[in-house]
A and B are shown apart, each in its own frame.
Chain A
Amino acid sequence: MKYLTELPDVIAGLVLLVLAILLGLLAILRYAFATGFPGLEELATIMFLWFAFLGAAVAARRQMHFRLGFLFARLPARQQRIVLLLAHTCTFVYATLLLWSGLALVVLTIDMQTGALSISRSVGYSSLAAGAALIVVYSVIHFAREARKL
């Protein structure tokens, strides 16, 4: 179960490492041997979209998204829990709307091809729906945990 929970962390970490090594080595190769890979920028941008939205999901699971804490810190413990329930509810609503809109975008772009790699545009765009779906799941889990403490 632990491995399944941390799968997005592992995938996002791997994508970042592959991106760093791929971009770095190709920049060195281009400078040293004047060779290039025309689809690299497009491939890197697609991988970056996946990294960004998976990273956003990982941040949601670890509750690392930036928030202002100066009012929150002054509340009594019970009211802090109520505020946290509200935060998880708002996150759920936002991520659900992103998921709905993201899926519509995937359906619309499934037959559209990218310029250099000639793959479906939905390959990159589906990252938003995937990340949003994970955030929906995590916000429900966090809400349930917090509600039990009330």
Chain B
Amino acid sequence: MAFLLLLMFGILFLLMALSIPVAVALGLGAIAGMNAEGALESINLARRTISGIESFPLLAVPLFLLLGELMNASGISRRLFDLADCLVGHFTGGLAQVAIFSNVFLAACSGAATADAAVTSKVLVPIMVAKKFPGGFATAVAISAALLAPLIPPSITFVIYGSITDTSIGSLFMAGIVPGLLTAALLSFLVYLVSKRRGFARRPAPPGLKDLGRVLVAAVWGLLLPVLIIGGIRFGVATPTEIAAVAVIYCLLVGLFAYRELSIRGIWSLLPTVAAQSGAVLLIVAAAAPFAWLLTRAGVPQSIFQAVHAFATPATFLFGVSALLFVLGMFMEAAAILVVMTPIVAPVGAALGVDMVHLGVIITFMLGVGTLSPPFAQLVFVSSAITGIPAEDTFKELWPFLLVLAICAVLLIVFPGISLWLPSQVRGD
């Protein structure tokens, strides 16, 4: 088994370091492993690759990606920013608080941190810089707040995790809400402390009721979107995949007929981009399936369990998984870590008595934190490409945010109820 692990992970890390596409590195690592194990029969590679994505729940991935793009193109995101500005723009921290608050709204409609980080960087960061916020700080707030997207439903990470581990995606969606709100509250407190010390600008006074009413009315179509998504899941009206499809239709109708900012040509131009974004994620999921199958076949999860079960408790196991994901997040793409590591750690966690929904929340949270960690720091570079603010400036301002996220991780591990209370209420436990 040691030779197999060395071969597969050696090829994976070597090719990724050489900037070979992650899906290709995973695929070639798996093919080398299959060859070494004598399992590279003609159809085996194709069968295992297809099995990775031949799943109805996974259909929610492109639908939620499309939803995120439609929200931006239809003007829903902009109106949610305006509403957040009216509600919290006068708090200490001003626009930095707006970034966090608006990301709570955005997270409740879209499922990918990258999309939310991109739109916040595009819309809000330039305004923050114009109001004398340091560029690095503005970016650090925007990308930290974007981590709410995979926690607050809908969430693409939860969809993929749920389909790999056969965990209820509806329960995972419910489990992410309280951790998402807790993270938002702690980030908001950090922004308050930093802004107070550094004297950042804020709106001089809260807006009048008339202005607030106008902005609220304008944003009402957007505010109904989370009600539709979370309500639909909470009351079991449809599956998350179907709700994603209904939300896409709703967003199309709002953009075409209510806000009139969406055109047929505009929709048409979005579709191939979303197809390419989805294809990039889904090929990683597909390529990882034979990789994970080989690791499971070689008995890697059982070996890990044998090694750790004598001293590991659910909490120590979750701390270990969190540390591992954080380190991997420095060097690997989040989707690749999710699809390679979940089939290894989930059986070990289940054998140690860890709740699969709780594990899903921890994995999702730590994968998000990994996207902020240098040198890979995917979200930092996405934002930097949009705003032109050097990544080094962001790294200098990012460490207090990483510290707050680490505190959040500890709270989520030590108090499983933060994640599990809401799903238990929904199930009526």
Contacts and interface: CB of A to CB of B under 8 A. Distances in A.
B46 A6 contact: no
Given A68-B17, A68-B376, A56 B23 contact: yes
A65 B246 CA distance: 28
Contacts of A14: 271
A16 B279 CA distance: 11
Contact of A105 (B24, B43, B284): B43
Interface stretch (B57-65, B96-104, B206-214): B57-65
Interface string A39-71: 001001100110111111111001011111111
Contacts of A144: none
Interface in A3-50: 6, 9-10, 12-14, 16-17, 19-28, 30-31, 41, 44-45, 48-49
Nearest to B247: A24
Contacts, number: 212
Contact of B19 (A6, A52, A57, A67): A67
B286 A52 contact: yes
Interface in B244-265: 244-249
A101 to B, nearest CB: 4
Contacts of A117: none
Contacts of A129: 46
B275 A12 contact: yes
A120 interface: no
Interface stretch (B47-55, B124-132, B298-306): B47-55
Which among B19, B23, B54, B58 has the highest number of chain A CB atoms within 10 Å? B19
A101 B277 CA distance: 25
Contacts of B56: 41, 44-45, 48
B242 A13 contact: no
Contact of B53 (A28, A52, A87): A52
A9 B17 CA distance: 29
B24 A54 contact: no
B59 to A, nearest CB: 5
Contacts of B237: 27, 31
A68 B284 contact: no
B45 interface: yes
Contacts of B333: 66, 68
B59 A62 contact: no
B19 A49 contact: no
Nearest to A63: B21
Contacts of B268: 13
B: contact size bracket: 35 or more
A23 B46 contact: no
B44 interface: yes
B245 A13 contact: no
Given A49-B54, A97-B31, A90 B282 contact: no
A62 B59 CA distance: 22
A51 B61 CA distance: 12
B216 interface: no
A97 B63 CA distance: 29
A98 B21 contact: no
Contacts of B247: 24
B274 interface: yes
B20 A24 contact: no
Contacts of B19: 67-69, 71-72, 83-84, 87
B375 A52 contact: no
A66 B284 contact: yes
Contacts of A83: 18-19
Contacts of B335: 66
A31 B243 CA distance: 12
B241 interface: yes
A19 B267 CA distance: 15
Nearest to B269: A13
B43 A58 contact: no
B327 interface: no
A45 B59 CA distance: 8
B15 interface: yes
Contacts of B22: 65-68
Interface centre among A28, A51, A65, A125, by most chain B C-beta atoms within 10 angstroms, is A65
A48 B50 contact: no
Contacts of A53: 279, 283
Contact of A98 (B27, B245, B276, B332): B27
10 contacts: A16-B66, A30-B238, A31-B237, A55-B62, A55-B280, A59-B280, A64-B277, A66-B21, A67-B20, A68-B17
